[in-house]
Amino acid sequence: MPDAPIVELTKSRVREFIREPEAVFWVFAFPILLTLALGFAFRSKPPDRIPIGVIGPHAKEWSAALAKSPVLLTRVLEAEEARDQLRRGKITLLVEGDAQPVYRFDPTRPDARTARVEADDALQRAAGRRDVIAAREEHVSERGSRYIDFLVPGLLGMNLMGTGMWGVGFSIVNARMKKLLKRLIATPMRKSDFLLAQFFSRLIFLTGEVTFLIVFAWLVFHVGVHGSLVTFAMLCLIGGFAFSGIGLLVASRAKTIEAVSGMMNLVMVPMWICSGVFFSYERFPDAAKPFIRALPLTALNDALRAVMNDGAGWLQIAAPVGVLLAWGVVCFALALRVFKWQ
């Protein structure tokens, strides 16, 4: 005996998807590869040492003292060569002088001033200066502040958008082109069952996608979810719902794959750029920000970052969640009204 129509429709959609190896690749492997590439490209590393040069009769002695600084990279140079390198910025500071050291540098360069302070400190210590008070250093490496921490929620949001819209849009237009939609409404099937099955099957894939990406990001980059996992999961479902709704609306009348692809790109490309996937939308002019924040992907990314990096709860993400729900509900409602079955 078959199950209820909604269950059978959802099963069919899931089967159709998992039997399409290319689709599985784009949904699962692509975001992983992107995370991997960008994660390594922008990984956190200790700041480079500042290159400086030493010349003059004390060059050997001074360079031994300067080598103790963890910040400086010291080289003993010939006078002419040293001037040339300083001019071309290959070294930021030149230590010269016959008896007393002379620091030659461009004071408008922050790294040159750092080098000057470091070099002087090293030489003074070597000459016997002792600290009057003993200070202690404590290094800050806040989790959630690295680029990868910014990137992973953005990629997750982008993936939820892409798979939500394509997953629903492509399959609907395909079924319309094959006249399968028309054949289905020639049965007693409820139209709402069909549309809900699209949504439910999305939620099933979404669970897999999100788990896969999050476990990967945690294992490889130690990107964790600081907030509640339940809040995080619910947020992903709300995001999936919003983008399924938009996908349904975009696909509600399109007759060809080309037409729906064009419309999908029209909807998605501005969000890839504006919604803070790869870089923060704070860089856009203030006048544009209210519009950017009203975009569903911005709302999802903001909420995901708040939950993953800042451990935010529902109260703090109420605004973006409201934006997402509004997009989802309005688009679903509109799609149901304008949907063309044949």
Partner 1 sequence: MTESAIHCRDLRKYYPDVKAVDGLDLYIARGECFGLLGPNGAGKTTTIEILEGLTPADSGDVEVLGLRWNGRARELRERIGISLQETQFTDKLTVIETLTLFRSFYREGRDSDELMRALSLEEKQNARVGKLSGGQKQRLAVACALVGHPDILFLDEPTTGLDPQSRLQLWEVVTRFREGGGTVLLTTHYMDEAERLCDRIAIIDHGKVIALGTPAELIAKLEASNIIEFTSDPPMAGEAFADLCAGYHGCAKRGEGWQLRVDSLAEAVPRVLAIIEKSGAKLVTLSTHAATLEDLFVALTGRELRDA
Which positions touch partner 1 (CB under 8 A)?
2-5, 7-9, 11-12, 15-16, 19-20, 175, 178-180, 182-189, 342
Query: Shortest distance, CB of residue 273 to partner 1, whole angstroms?
Result: 34
Query: 23 vs 86, which CB is nearer to partner 1?
Result: 23
Nearer to partner 1 by Cβ, of 60 and 182: the residue is 182
Residue with smaller CB distance to partner 1, 21 or 47: 21
CB of 175 to partner 1, least distance (A): 8
Q: How many whole angstroms separate alpha carbon 169 and alpha carbon 335? A: 11
What is the Cα–Cα distance from 52 to 306, expressed in whole angstroms?
Answer: 42
The dihedral built from the CA positions of residue 307, 311, 312 and 313, taken in this order, carries a sign that is positive
C-alpha span between 237 and 156 (Å, rounded)? 12
In angstroms, give the least distance from the CB of 244 to partner 1: 19
Structure tokens at 188: 């007693």
Q: Which is nearer to partner 1, 87 or 182 (CB)?
A: 182
Q: Which two tokens stand for residue 342?
A: 């044949």
Q: How far is the CB of 340 from partner 1 (least distance, A)?
A: 13
Pick 32 or 184: Cβ nearer partner 1 = 184
In angstroms, the CA 47 to CA 189 distance is 64
Taking CB atoms within 8 Å and a gap of at least 24, the contacts of 69-74 are 69/118, 69/119, 69/121, 69/122, 71/114, 71/115, 71/118, 72/115, 72/118, 72/119, 72/122, 73/49
Min dist CB 182 to partner 1, Å, is 6
